[in-house]
Structure 1
């Protein structure tokens, strides 16, 4: 599913004005590899991500997005990062400000594949094979590698 219904309903009321949303990013590991998908909208390789639905627990949203987008079942293990993504302006003019909760996840089952059309390719990549990944995505993987590090965040003045 590309854009959740609740976002479309809000857009009818506010137009393209900035919309604050909560997102999740799932950094999924299987052995020494990480799950990455190539986005259909812009061709970028990224970790699986999506929007948290109203009333949904963020960790549940991360697991749901993995199943919906990549066809894999994951176990969410820990929160790795809380950060504000710089404002995104989409091609249609819609603006969004995402508070992103990044989770370390472990693969449980399923063969990765583009399950819902949001990704055109999905696969496992060795940690030394992240050359096409944007620097901010490499940072997410690095912060999620440790199994028991505390979550990272900015601010706290």
Structure 2
């Protein structure tokens, strides 16, 4: 997947030092199904996700990523989960500290398909068909399933 231009410009200034970035994960429901793809870079099946662009509202980012990656139009219904991810170090040494915002979205239109090359396949799966997904992805889906639950946050507990 291509690195956003703003990240490349930051990397020119900070090298491989950790960058704090905001990411979004869109869990889309057209009924009791969720679109899941297969990543072009590592073959893993994720939910639609991406990086929030500078000045972009996170919910708008979730809508944009669904259109760009999976070719579907969605409406964001609620924030489901907020989590600081463990530091990620890429093969080139770049380090990133992602804060991921998981949004429950409602499918509006479009047949899921690999729209921009980040995913090699995309299709709707039933909630019982998630066995090959990483547990963290399944957890995000589970937290987004409930329509009226308040958002969950990692941390914030007294030590």
**TM-score, normalized by length of structure 2?**
0.96
Please list, as runs of the form range in 1=range in 2, the aligned pairs for 1:117-128 lying within 5 A after superposition.
117-128=117-128
Please list, as runs of the form range in 1=range in 2, the aligned pairs for 1:72-91 lying within 5 A after superposition.
72-91=72-91
**SS, match of residue 63 in structure 2:** helix
Deviation (angstroms), 1:13: 1.0
The gaps in structure 1 that reach 5 residues or longer are none
The gaps in structure 2 that reach 5 residues or longer are none
Deviation (angstroms), 1:155: 2.3
Question: CA offsets, 1:69-112, max 9 Å, x none?
Answer: 11000010000000001111112221111000000001100111
- Calculate the aligned-residue CA RMSD, in Å: 0.9
Give the equivalent residue in structure 2 for 1:15. 15
Deviation (angstroms), 1:21: 0.2
Please list, as runs of the form range in 1=range in 2, the aligned pairs for 1:87-102 lying within 5 A after superposition.
87-102=87-102
Higher mean displacement: 73-82 or 34-43 = 34-43
Aligned pairs, number: 157
Q: Does 1:132 align with 2:136?
A: no
Give the equivalent residue in structure 1 for 2:55. 55
**TM-score, normalized by length of structure 1?**
0.97
